[in-house]
């Protein structure tokens, strides 16, 4: 058949076709958001299968999230049907790395049933290593060590390869020794952390040319999406595997590189052309996703970045609405107004799943969750500290992990006395001591301790019972379906009973979650498969999002698109984040700006940005300034709103004047600062920076969400508004009827009793 007339090519533009049809040799597709990179990549995969250029198991395809992998699989299935079933090597770097590692685990001292540690376990383990080395834990934390080790792993460095002077990155020169100790603990536990999944692959490949050769021959074609976010270890891994056939196609957008903080290196894009000489470089310039206003706003914003390759984007879609920017009083109001917007879109016939709220940090989600619950709007949280990070999930998983691998000491520690079995700290100390002395896992140490006289009679009885139970469940695991096993274990262990008896207000919710967990297990044929899945998923909900609003972080939204996108919290110190502003140089700020670009470019028809004048963070009220990114949006693509109505491009502040009046604090900053009342285009942010910086993020109320000392009816005095009487009290927010200034909302720390 003529490859060029294949039905799946219809509708692709010339450049996309080239990306699909240039099957041989290295290809780099470099293009802006929404230009159809992922679509071209997916079609390329379908084409390879359809032309039988390779069998499904000879293609390696890397996506950034498990969700993206699933979607790619679905799309390919739609194009070529069942052939997709054999695609064993389609997944994230982590999932593919884990698959390879399971096959050769013994070459790096692990067993094939090794446990994959999540971030939380990793920190606990790092903490134990620091403790064992007698290092001051207050100064050198487990979290810190885990971060340093991650950094090295991201760069592909095993302890032996870390440059000696970098030992000083942690604990006065002991960094490398601790890294070694950490690795040897992992081996004892028969466990790997996320970084190891690739590092161990690299070690295996480097030490065993025959194995490397086998994979190099196997992977006739390699495809990589979101290439701009690969780190060095991932790059080395790709480069090694591609050496034989060199049919590697990477697609990316330097403007969407948002994982620098996790070791991603945009330089990998530049390196590609050097390492794969003669690579075909394909650029796509037509955006198929967004309206001109959205695209124009995003392009204008990203133009403020200095470090970029630069590119042109155009779209032929209809004009559509401008990007909306709205100033509100506080976070609660923001959630309320967004909830209202969603309801009114719904009333116009739009499905909830066509709308997404994208936040900078996950703490921002709660306000929306509450609001959606109040309104009875179905929503789903993607990729947060969510289901599997909850206490009860982690406990239940620890039982299952210990049953799968009796070497898993972290799991043992977590549940040996949960529910309480009379195995307190004393007994555990004995077990840890025995484990260290004999260099054995805690399960083995328990058996030894049962024979010795070091435990009290009561502790021995409990421990014996516990060990017997784990043994019994491990035998059960061989011929029970995993969901039944999970249920049995949670019942027999007394874990479910523990929450049934608990008086905690959270207990009912936890019991529901445990039910949900068993439900999740039931979707797997093997315990192994389930546990791997849990360790690897960054998204929880497996079903499609029909009829639910999407709620997620900007990072999780990469590669996705929605007709309506809400971008709340565009305030200095939230977005850009405080951390990025504190950092020297512009790198962190530019990464924040790329994140903003990712956010805006997720929108197809409507993009709605908002910021609040007041923000409660960890219980403290802070005043906030609109994000500099708002300034950077080109005026012609933006429409400014306020609570009171449309303000348009007037030379006033972004939010309604009254909303700022209400803040009451920093009046000087607000009223005397020319920047605040600036014309949008008259003064650049930098010209008024020195003044507003004082106000930026300043705490204007202390003590929290707490209660106000004032009551309805109290007479108060406010510096600007004068005397008035309180008509309502809501936490620290007062509504005051001022004698001369009318009704205002103020925070109680700005008034005094009169």
Is 538 a binding residue for ligand ATP by CB under 6 A? The answer is: no
Q: State the burial class of residue 224 (Cβ atoms within 10 Å of its Cβ: 0-12, 13-18, 19+).
A: buried
Two tokens, residue 134: 């007698």
Residue 288 Cβ vs ligand ATP, minimum distance, rounded to whole Å: 3
Only one residue has tokens 């049962």, namely 450
Residue 285 Cβ vs ligand ATP, minimum distance, rounded to whole Å: 11
Residue from 98, 121, 277, 96 nearest 189 by CA: 121
H-helix or E-strand spanning residue 271: helix 267-275
Binding footprint of Mg ion on the chain (CB under 5 A): 37-38, 559
Cis peptide bond upstream of 105, omega within 30: no
- Catalytic pick among 23, 234, 256, 364: 256
Is 354 a binding residue for ligand ATP by CB under 6 A? The answer is: no
Of 71 and 492, CB closest to Mg ion: 71
Residue 15 Cβ vs ligand ATP, minimum distance, rounded to whole Å: 9
Is 723 a binding residue for ligand ATP by CB under 6 A? The answer is: no
- Catalytic pick among 226, 255, 591, 592: 226
- Residue 484 catalytic? no
In degrees, to the nearest 5, what angle opens at C-alpha 127 toward C-alphas 123 and 130? 140
- Alpha-carbon distance 160 to 584, whole Å? 31
Is 47 a binding residue for ligand ATP by CB under 6 A? The answer is: no
Of 285 and 476, CB closest to ligand ATP: 285
Residue 296 Cβ vs ligand ATP, minimum distance, rounded to whole Å: 17
Is 35 a binding residue for ligand ATP by CB under 6 A? The answer is: yes
Two tokens, residue 6: 């294949």
- Give SS3 for 744: strand
First vs last C-alpha separation in the chain: 89
Is 599 a binding residue for ligand ATP by CB under 6 A? The answer is: no
> One symbol per residue from 11 to 30: x for binding ligand ATP (CB under 6 A), - otherwise; what is it?
xxx--x--------------
Residue from 423, 416, 409 nearest 395 by CA: 416
Strand 549-553 and strand 323-330: the pairing is unpaired
Of 268 and 622, CB closest to ligand ATP: 268
Of 65 and 513, CB closest to ligand ATP: 65
Is 33 a binding residue for ligand ATP by CB under 6 A? The answer is: yes
- Residue 103 catalytic? no
- Residue 122 catalytic? no
Cis peptide bond upstream of 419, omega within 30: yes
Strand 733-738 and strand 722-730: the pairing is antiparallel
Residue 288 binds: one of ligand ATP, Mg ion, none (C-beta under 5 to 8 A by kind): ligand ATP
Q: Is 496 left (phi over 0), alpha (psi -120 to 50) or beta?
A: alpha
- Catalytic pick among 23, 35, 37, 291: 37
Residue 37 Cβ vs Mg ion, minimum distance, rounded to whole Å: 5
- Give SS3 for 624: coil
Is 510 a binding residue for ligand ATP by CB under 6 A? The answer is: no
- Give SS3 for 517: helix
Is 34 a binding residue for ligand ATP by CB under 6 A? The answer is: yes
Only one residue has tokens 């989600």, namely 365
According to DSSP, the residues that pair with 330 across neighbouring strands are 614
Do residues 301 and 633 touch, judged by C-beta distance below 8 A? yes
Strands of 408-447, DSSP E? none
Residue 289 binds: one of ligand ATP, Mg ion, none (C-beta under 5 to 8 A by kind): ligand ATP
Is 154 a binding residue for ligand ATP by CB under 6 A? The answer is: no
Distance of CA 692 to the CA centre of its chain: 31
- Catalytic pick among 225, 229, 255, 573: 225
Of 37 and 593, CB closest to Mg ion: 37
- Residue 601 catalytic? no
- Binding to ligand ATP (CB under 6 A) within 227-256 occurs at 253, 256
Residue 593 Cβ vs Mg ion, minimum distance, rounded to whole Å: 19
- Catalytic pick among 38, 92, 122, 548: 38
Q: Which stretch binds ligand ATP (CB under 6 A): 36-44, 212-220, 441-449, 728-736?
A: 36-44
Q: How many CB atoms lie within 10 A of CB 512?
A: 12
The dihedral through the CA atoms of 106, 109, 114, 119 has a sign that is negative
According to DSSP, the residues that pair with 62 across neighbouring strands are 91, 224
Residue 34 binds: one of ligand ATP, Mg ion, none (C-beta under 5 to 8 A by kind): ligand ATP
Residue 540 Cβ vs ligand ATP, minimum distance, rounded to whole Å: 22
Residue 12 binds: one of Mg ion, ligand ATP, none (C-beta under 5 to 8 A by kind): ligand ATP
- Alpha-carbon distance 62 to 47, whole Å? 17
Is 37 a binding residue for ligand ATP by CB under 6 A? The answer is: yes
Residue 13 Cβ vs ligand ATP, minimum distance, rounded to whole Å: 5
**Residue 671 gets which letter from DSSP?**
I
Of 11 and 619, CB closest to ligand ATP: 11
- Give SS3 for 408: coil
Residue from 200, 289, 460, 696 touching ligand ATP (CB under 6 A): that is 289
Residue from 288, 387, 524, 723 touching ligand ATP (CB under 6 A): that is 288
Of 13 and 203, CB closest to ligand ATP: 13
Two tokens, residue 739: 């004698």
Residue 51 Cβ vs Mg ion, minimum distance, rounded to whole Å: 23
Residues 6+ apart with CB under 8 A from 191: 110, 114, 115, 116, 117, 121, 407, 408, 410
- Residue 256 catalytic? yes
Residue from 142, 300, 559, 724 touching ligand ATP (CB under 6 A): that is 559
- Residue 38 catalytic? yes
Binding site for ligand ATP (CB under 6 A): 11-13, 16, 31, 33-39, 253, 256, 288-289, 559, 561, 601
Catalytic center residues: 37-38, 225-226, 256, 602
């Amino acid at each position: 058949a003529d490859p060029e007339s294949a039905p799946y090519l219809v509708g692709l533009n010339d450049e996309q076709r080239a990306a699909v049809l240039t099957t041989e040799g290295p290809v780099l597709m470099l293009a802006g958001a929404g230009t159809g990179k992922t679509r071209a990549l997916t079609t390329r995969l379908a084409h390879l299968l359809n032309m039988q250029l390779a069998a499904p198991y000879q293609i390696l395809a890397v996506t950034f999230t498990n969700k993206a992998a699933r979607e790619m699989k679905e799309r390919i299935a739609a194009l070529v049907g069942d052939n997709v079933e054999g695609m064993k090597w389609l997944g994230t770097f982590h999932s593919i790395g884990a698959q390879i590692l399971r096959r050769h685990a013994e070459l790096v001292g692990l067993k094939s049933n090794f446990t994959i540690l999540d971030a939380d376990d990793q920190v606990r383990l790092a903490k134990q290593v620091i403790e064992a080395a007698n290092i001051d834990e207050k100064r050198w934390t487990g979290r810190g060590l885990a971060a340093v080790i991650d950094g090295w792993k991201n760069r592909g460095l095993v302890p032996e390869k870390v440059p000696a002077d970098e030992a000083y990155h942690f604990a006065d020169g002991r960094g490398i020794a601790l890294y070694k100790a950490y690795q040897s603990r992992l081996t004892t536990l028969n466990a790997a952390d996320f970084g190891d999944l690739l590092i161990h692959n690299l070690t295996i490949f480097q030490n065993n040319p025959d194995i490397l050769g086998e994979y190099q021959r196997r992977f006739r074609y390699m495809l990589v999406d979101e290439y701009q976010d690969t780190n060095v270890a991932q790059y080395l891994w790709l480069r090694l595997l591609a050496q034989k056939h060199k049919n590697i196609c990477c697609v990316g957008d330097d403007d969407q590189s948002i994982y620098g903080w996790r070791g991603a290196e945009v330089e990998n894009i530049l390196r590609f052309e050097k390492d794969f000489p003669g690579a075909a470089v394909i650029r796509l310039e037509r955006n198929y996703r967004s309206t001109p206003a959205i695209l124009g706003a995003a392009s204008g914003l990203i133009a403020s970045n200095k470090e970029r390759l630069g590119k042109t984007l155009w779209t032929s879609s209809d004009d559509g609405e401008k990007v909306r920017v709205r100033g509100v009083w506080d976070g609660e109001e923001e959630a309320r107004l967004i909830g209202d917007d969603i309801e009114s879109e719904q009333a116009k016939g739009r499905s909830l799943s066509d709308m997404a709220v994208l936040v900078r940090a996950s703490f921002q989600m709660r306000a929306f969750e509450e609001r959606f619950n109040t309104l009875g709007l179905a929503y789903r949280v993607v990729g947060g500290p969510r289901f599997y990070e909850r206490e009860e999930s982690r406990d239940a998983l620890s039982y299952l992990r210990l049953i799968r691998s009796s070497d898993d000491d972290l799991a043992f520690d977590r549940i040996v006395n949960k529910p309480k079995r009379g195995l307190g700290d004393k007994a555990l100390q004995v077990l840890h001591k025995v484990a260290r002395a004999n260099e054995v896992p805690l399960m083995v140490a328990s058996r030894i301790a049962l024979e010795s006289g070091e435990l009290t009679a009561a502790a021995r009885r409990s421990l014996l019972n516990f060990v017997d139970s784990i043994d019994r469940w491990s035998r059960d695991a061989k011929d029970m379906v995993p969901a039944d096993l999970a249920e049995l274990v949670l019942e027999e262990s007394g874990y479910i009973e523990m929450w049934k008896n608990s008086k905690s207000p959270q207990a009912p919710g936890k019991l529901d979650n445990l039910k949900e967990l068993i439900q999740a297990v039931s979707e797997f044929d093997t315990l192994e498969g389930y546990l791997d899945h849990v360790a690897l998923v960054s998204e929880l909900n497996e079903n499609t999002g029909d009829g639910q609003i999407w709620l997620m972080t900007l990072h999780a939204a990469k590669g996705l698109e929605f007709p309506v996108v809400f971008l709340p919290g565009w305030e200095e110190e939230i977005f850009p984040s405080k951390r990025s502003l504190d950092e020297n140089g512009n790198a962190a700020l530019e990464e924040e700006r790329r994140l903003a670009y990712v956010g805006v470019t997720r929108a197809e028809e409507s993009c709605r940005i908002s910021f609040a004048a007041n923000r409660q963070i960890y219980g403290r009220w802070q005043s906030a300034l609109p994000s500099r990114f708002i300034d950077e949006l080109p005026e012609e693509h933006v429409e400014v709103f306020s609570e009171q109505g449309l303000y348009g491009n007037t030379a006033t502040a972004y939010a309604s004047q009254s909303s700022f009046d209400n803040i009451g604090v920093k009046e000087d900053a607000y009223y005397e600062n020319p920047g605040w009342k600036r014309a949008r285009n008259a003064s650049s942010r930098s010209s008024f920076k020195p003044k507003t910086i004082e106000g930026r993020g300043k705490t204007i109320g202390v003590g929290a969400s707490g209660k106000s000392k004032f009551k309805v009816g109290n007479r108060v005095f406010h510096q600007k508004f004068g005397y008035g009487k309180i008509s309502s009290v809501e936490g620290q927010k007062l509504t005051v009827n001022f004698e001369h200034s009318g009704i205002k909302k103020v925070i109680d720390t700005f008034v005094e009793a009169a």
